[in-house]
Amino acid sequence: MINNRRKFIKQSLLASLATSLGSNIVFGKNIPFGMELVGLSETTSSFPGKSELLSVLNDRPINIETPAHLLNDKLTPNDLFFVRNNGIPPVNIDPNKWSLEISGESAASNKTYSLNELKSNFENISYNITLECGGNGRKEFNPPAKGNQWTTGAVGCVKWTGVRLKDVLNDVGIKSDAVYIGYYGADSHLSGSPDKDAISRGVPIAKALEKESMIAWAMNDQDIPLLNGHPLRLVFGGYPASCSGKWLKKIVIRDQVHDGQKMKGSSYRTPCKPVAPGAKVNEEDMCIIENMPVKSLISYPKTGATINLDQQLPIAGHAWTSSKEITKMEYSIDFGMNWLACRLSKSDNKYAWQHFEAEVNFPEKGYYEVWARATDIDGNTQPMLLPGWNPKGYLNNACHRIAIKVL
Ligand SMILES: Nc1nc2c(c(=O)[nH]1)N[C@H]1C(S)=C(S)[C@@H](COP(=O)(O)O)O[C@H]1N2
Ligand SMILES: [Mo]
């Protein structure tokens, strides 16, 4: 007899459900009428080109981060790369009509390049470069810092393709009094006001002229996703990602430190000298963040994993630094009393994150934390606990920790 509790679900509906889930529903024809798929009810809101598995911190402006266990790939897939917007992204982008202006008081000329001219007039290059938001890890600060409560996921490393910023700046000509560059993007201020920029930051001229500093149009050999700055963005390894301007329309060569939106006050600045947690710091005692600190992330397993006592636990992750390379990677299972070595890969190029692996043995059943600690070639290493408190909660490079239960 026909089970009349089940009604026939139309093939077209099944197909659209399968698309939303991203895979075929194997026994789809048996789904009881009116029942919601668990897999769909668990999903969060979706953004163009971004996985539904990312964590949404804010949707206006869009700020979404990547859970640590989804950063296990050697190069972060485009749909898993975090998004940090300060304003509203541009719409109706036509890459064929996109242009980039270079000007400013320390530019020897004013030039405007179409995207196609950039691609054909300058040497095309690719580097694997880690971008990390200066506020990554902010959630841990106490007293708490206002702003997006990033946990560990405002970071990713991808293959960027584009041209060297220095080649383009040299083509325009750099006057001898140049000290800084600033960027302007096509996004708009949250208020909608055309007179205000969402963000307009920059870097010292020496940083702009580094061989890895680039103007990029591709991420992992594909167009940069809309939310990550399509069709053109700056990429500066080792500096807070806020310097890497998205939807890039204009670069100014400045004879002074760039004074655009979010360059002043306490934005992307930390106290020039350490202060007590919660202290009030005067603006003149705040310094612009330049090099980011050494850091690492355990991307496998997911925190909370269980394992049997007779098994070894494989762990894996990445480490990055603004220095030349990471030279030592260690882990601890006893809250930092003893450290054991991980295997560590070589760096593809400066600013690419490096991968580590180890097999962990546990002495008895119970709760453990696995901590990871990176050290770079200059001897910089990660603190076990939260580093210097600062009013805006930047530069938290404390060791990443995951919980493991041994059964
Ligand atoms: N035009 C523009 N560029 C921008 C931003 C922005 O809001 N607008 N955000 C900055 C900040 S604070 C960060 S951390 C990075 C984030 O890059 P992503 O969104 O590609 O991850 O872009 C930077 N570049
Ligand atoms: Mo950022």
Looking at residue 68, the DSSP 8-state letter turns out to be G
Query: Helix (H, G, I), strand (E, B), or coil: what is residue 98?
Result: coil
In degrees rounded to 5, what are phi and psi of residue 71? Answer: -100, 25
**CATH assignment, 55-288:** 3.90.420.10
Distance 40 CA to ligand 1 centre (A): 30
Where in the chain is CATH 2.60.40.650? 295-406
Cβ neighbors of 316 (< 8 A, separation 6 or more) are 72, 298, 299, 300, 355, 356, 357
Q: What token pair was written down for 322?
A: 């603004």
- Note the pLDDT tens digit of each residue in 189-237: 999 999 999 999 999 999 999 999 999 999 999 999 999 999 999 999 9
- Note the pLDDT tens digit of each residue in 251-296: 999 999 999 999 999 999 999 999 999 999 999 999 999 999 999 9
Out of 2.60.40.1180, 2.60.40.650, 1.10.3720.10, 3.40.50.720, select the CATH number for domain 295-406: 2.60.40.650
Residue 337's region, left for phi above 0, alpha for psi from -120 to 50, else beta, is: alpha
Q: Is residue 1 very low, low, confident or very high in pLDDT (cuts 50, 70, 90)?
A: very low
Distance 339 CA to ligand 2 centre (A): 32
Residue 9 has pLDDT above 60, yes or no: no
CA 233/CA 226 separation, integer angstroms: 11
pLDDT, position 14: 78
CA 171/CA 102 separation, integer angstroms: 10
pTM comes to 0.90
pLDDT, position 2: 44
- Pairing assessment for the beta strands 305-307 and 400-406 based on DSSP bridges: parallel
Determine the atom of ligand 1 nearest the C-alpha atom of 240. Answer: 14
CA 235/CA 162 separation, integer angstroms: 9
- Note the pLDDT tens digit of each residue in 165-200: 999 999 999 999 999 999 999 999 999 999 999 999
Where in the chain is CATH 3.90.420.10? 55-288
Which residue among 71, 85, 232 has the greatest number of ligand 1 atoms within 8 angstroms of its CB, and so is best to mutate?
Answer: 85
Cβ neighbors of 10 (< 8 A, separation 6 or more) are none
